[in-house]
A and B are shown apart, each in its own frame.
Chain A
Amino acid sequence: MNYQDKPQTILRATNLSKAFYHPAQLEILKDISITINRGDTVAIMGRSGEGKSTLLQILGTLDTPCNGGLEIDGHNITQFNKSRIRNTKLGFVFQSFHLLDDYTALENVLMPAKIARVPTNPSSPAYLRACGLLEHVGLSSRKHYNTKLLSGGEKQRVAIARALCNNPDLILADEPSGNLDRQTSQQIHELLLDFAHSHNKTLIVVTHDQELAHLCKRRYNLVNKKLVEI
């Protein structure tokens, strides 16, 4: 099945609510509904502490909403299929990169494939794809470097390559350039959007960066627990 045959809607969230109960009850999100189509690039903005990252984690199945439902690529998210959906359908890019320290750049990129239990030996398709991704992000010469030796921008590029390793339909990025200088940030933004456009991937990005937001097709603002399309 190629992507033209897949359902047009990649993500549908219905009446999502989230509250924290410790130390005191704090409602962060309330009745948020959003439908995102395949190939969309979506920016979610808002002030700090409004719950943007929490919303992204709920959309990425890393967190569980108090109420509401979530459907990704036609699959209702349950406790039992979360891991598989995360492994096959989603790719995450974090502000703090979150690379595995004791591994090389290539090993980091190959990790989702290992989790999916596909062969990762040097002649395997997954290995060749990982090398291709690292080449695409301009790090083929550093693929055997330990990630501790890479700069912030390089780390984030490895993280982007890793997010794409299992060819997911949906990339979720949480402040991908939050820890980077302006020039590097621009390179990361271009990389993410290029990937999304060239491979018809859906990108949901949480950002404070107006420039990045303006490059996205749809923009939302999280205000008073509600998502408002701009």
Chain B
Amino acid sequence: MFELSVACKYLIPRWRQLSVSIISLVSILVIALVVWLIVVFFSVKDGLENSWVDKIIALTAPIRVTPTPKYYNSYYYLIDSVSAQSDYTAKSIGEKLVSPQTDPYNSEVDEEFPKHWPAPDRNTQGELKDLVKLVAQSADALPGANSIKVTDYETTMANVRLRLVRPSAGPTQQSQQFLDHATYVGSFDTNTPVLAKALLPFTAADFNNLLHMQSISSDNILEDTPDTINQQEIATLHKRLQAFFSVINVTALKTPATGWRLPQHLLPANANFKVSILTSHGDTSRITIPNNPNEFEPFPQNLLSAHEQIIMGELNIKDGKRFIKLPDQEPKEIEAWIPLLLEDNTILQASIDLSSLLQANRIKNLHFIITTKIQGNILHGNVPLGTLEIAEATIEQSKDTPLFAHLTPENTTIILPQNTAEGDGILLPRSFKDAGALIGDQGYLSYFSPTPSSVQEQRQPVFIAGFYDPGIMPLGGKYILAPKELIGMIRASYNSNENLTSNGLNIRFDNYKDAARIKSELSQAFEQAGIAPYWHIETYQEYEYIKDLIQQLHSEKNLFSVISLVVIIVACSNIISMLIILVNDKKLEIGIMRSMGASSVSIATIFGICGMVMGTIGSLIGILAATLTLRNINELVSILSKLQGYDLFNPVFYGNTLPSELSFEALSFVVITTACISLLAGIVPAVKACMLRPSTILRAE
């Protein structure tokens, strides 16, 4: 194509047209910069939105089907309360879902039900409609039903009270604090793979607490304020330690904040260390080995006594004997009793000495085999845990454990421990972790149950099996997840007060963006099955507690799209000035080509193509840069966070890592917009070019 070949010729930079080349380059770079910014911004924003919605759906579902008042006033719901087969108790939706009998009423055995009750809703065969099972059947019959899963959920309210047992400097070396919180308690559904994304990883503090809790008995956990922190019996402790170390592989320990007295047997026979020496009245009283001597900050001199002094020197160990060498002094042998400490937070590579699991009568007596390098010297030996703490550990993903919530080996479902000696495992939102709770902490859920004479408090023991990140969900801070059976028990006690509880069916499927379509198909299916009046269908966008948030996210997206459009227009306007210069530069060539029969449309097309190609090249560079940026977004954010001194993105809102997937929506928006606007930008100079009269140009030249 003639126009394309000429446009390509014009786009190749030449020394003769340095100014045009520089302006072109700047135009392309500006477009690239804008495209980079928009693609990165929208990709991160889209990713965040998706992860927020994922987290919201992790606790609920893309679609929820809840009973209407007509359901609770139906014969189907009420009949259980007068039927012997149902123990004269109304059934929850979950119970209805698995109940083999739709109509438990037996007129020969059961009392006559009140006359004002509604008539049974029967199908054309005269059978009572099973309102709950028909929901599941309708969902199963939808197109693409393979990915649709129907599960019941229950939500209730309870008070959670956790006992936080922590090491302390007191005589018992342990202290206990209590954390009380009134919360919503939702039923935990194992079939929520999305929840796996929201689970917070273990921290070193979690590992330490979980290990520590293996020695604490939950005998008195249901007391208001237990007087003592009871220790487990030795046999139980050994079993629990074996269970702990069968799934947790400790790889490193760290020294406590007070430093750690280095056992003599860890030291090699010959070694050299740079050390900080505390002298008292001129005699060495303590030696500290810093982890990194170049960054070591000794205890401030002004906080020492007048007769004390800290000096940096060298510790030489020769054939087991210790020599101190102070600056400008000869080495001097020191006595073995002088304490030799490792600086606080020194990491020691270590592994558990399995033989100690059955010998330790306390956690502190567990033995670890240390093999680590300090200042180039290898320390090796078997030491008790003592005041050391776990610094790093890994979890054996393939093993089942009653200690904490974990993924199945296929990474598809989460297993929440139930019915252990400490009670049921619960998953807590991040806010509890921020308040000081750790995995392994024990406590109870308390709720009130009516009895014939009074209302009594009931307590169910629980322990923290994990934490999840609720994202920005308004309820997130007070929504805990517990096994369904536990919720059912609590909910049953609130039966008379439905405001505090809710019950319904979660409809889950692969892509939550199909929610509106599936809702409409489900509504039609309910109409056909004749159960529409009994059920209310909501998509996640309609949930009362997140509706405003979702709308706000959409509004922001629209606003940012408009801003992006304006920025792209400004960036592409550079192309206009560059092309006008190019038209002036190529005036003679335009005249020559016109004399050879090139039409004005062809000339305009040449410059239009130039504009579009520049826009496209700028876009491609921007997209490439954006892809690279997104791949390294977390490193970039951590650098920027370090520079400004605090987190660039608060993990409470944005999670621990930013999304790094390129948003296809953002990409198509930017590519199409830039191409169109740069083509439009090319039109102004193109019109100028085609208005030039060949006779005028050729005469002037």
Chain A residues in contact with chain B, CB under 8 A?
A: 53-54, 57, 60, 62-63, 83-88, 90, 92, 94, 96, 98-103, 111-112, 114-117, 162, 166
Contact = CB atoms under 8 A, between A and B. Distances in A.
B593 A111 contact: yes
A156 to B, nearest CB: 14
Interface string B674-701: 0000000000000000000111001101
Nearest to B603: A83
**10 closest A-B pairs (Cβ-Cβ)?**
A87-B597, A63-B695, A83-B599, A86-B597, A114-B2, A62-B695, A57-B695, A112-B596, A62-B694, A98-B592
B598 A62 contact: no
30 contacts: A54-B695, A54-B699, A57-B695, A62-B594, A62-B595, A62-B694, A62-B695, A62-B698, A63-B693, A83-B594, A83-B597, A83-B598, A84-B599, A85-B597, A86-B595, A86-B597, A90-B597, A92-B595, A92-B596, A94-B698, A96-B701, A99-B592, A100-B593, A111-B593, A112-B596, A114-B5, A115-B598, A116-B597, A117-B2, A166-B597
Interface in B197-245: none
Interface string B271-306: 000000000000000000000000000000000000
Given A86-B596, A117-B2, 6 more contacts: A62-B695, A63-B693, A86-B595, A98-B592, A102-B14, A115-B598
Contacts of B589: 100-101
Nearest to A111: B596
Contacts of B14: 102
B588 interface: yes
A102 B698 CA distance: 18
B9 interface: yes
A53 B592 contact: no
Contacts of B593: 100, 111, 115
A102 B17 CA distance: 12
B602 interface: yes
Contacts of B597: 83-88, 90, 112, 115-116, 166
A179 B605 CA distance: 34
A87 B598 CA distance: 7
Interface in B568-600: 588-589, 591-600
Contacts of A111: 593, 596
Interface in B588-632: 588-589, 591-600, 602
A57 B698 contact: yes
B16 to A, nearest CB: 9
A98 B598 contact: no
Nearest to A112: B596
A92 B697 CA distance: 15
B595 A115 contact: no
Interface in B1-25: 1-2, 5, 9, 14
Contact of A115 (B596, B698, B699): B596
B14, B591, B598, B600: which has the most chain A beta carbons within 10 Å?
B598
A155 to B, nearest CB: 13
Contacts of B591: 98
Nearest to A117: B2
A209 B1 CA distance: 40
A98 B698 contact: yes
A57 to B, nearest CB: 5
Contact of A102 (B9, B695, B699, B701): B9
Contacts of B698: 57, 62, 94, 98
A83 B695 CA distance: 13
A117 B14 CA distance: 27
Q: How large is the interface on B (under 10, 10 to 19, 20 to 34, 35 or more residues)?
A: 20 to 34
A205 to B, nearest CB: 16
Contacts of B596: 86-87, 92, 111-112, 115, 162
A63 to B, nearest CB: 4
A115 B602 contact: yes
A35 B588 CA distance: 31
A98 B701 contact: yes
Contacts of A98: 588, 591-592, 595, 698, 701
Contacts of A96: 701
Contacts of B602: 115
Given A62-B595, A84-B597, A53 B5 contact: no
A53 B699 contact: yes
Nearest to A85: B597
Nearest to A79: B600
Contacts of B588: 98
A115 B2 contact: yes
A63 B600 CA distance: 14
B595, B693, B694, B701: which has the most chain A beta carbons within 10 Å?
B595
A116 to B, nearest CB: 7
A110 to B, nearest CB: 10
Nearest to A166: B597
Nearest to B602: A115
A16 to B, nearest CB: 14
A218 B697 CA distance: 30
Contacts of A86: 594-597
A9 B346 CA distance: 104
Contacts of A116: 597
Contacts of A83: 594, 597-600
Nearest to B1: A117
Contacts of A92: 595-596
B369 to A, nearest CB: 76
Contacts of B695: 54, 57, 62-63
A85 B594 CA distance: 11
Nearest to A56: B695
A158 to B, nearest CB: 12
Contacts of A60: 595
B146 to A, nearest CB: 54
A109 to B, nearest CB: 11
A151 B449 CA distance: 108
Contacts of A57: 695, 698-699
A117 B5 CA distance: 12
A168 to B, nearest CB: 10
A82 B14 CA distance: 33
Contacts of B693: 63
A97 to B, nearest CB: 10
Contacts of B699: 53-54, 57
Contacts of B1: 117
Contacts of A101: 589
A165 B57 CA distance: 71
B628 to A, nearest CB: 35
B1 to A, nearest CB: 8
A88 to B, nearest CB: 7
A169 to B, nearest CB: 14
B598 A100 contact: no
Contacts of B2: 114-115, 117
A142 to B, nearest CB: 20
Nearest to A98: B592
Contacts of A102: 9, 14
A162 B602 CA distance: 19
A111 B591 CA distance: 13
Contacts of A54: 695, 699
A7 to B, nearest CB: 21
A62 to B, nearest CB: 4
A159 to B, nearest CB: 10
A226 to B, nearest CB: 21
Nearest to A58: B695
B609 to A, nearest CB: 15
Nearest to B599: A83
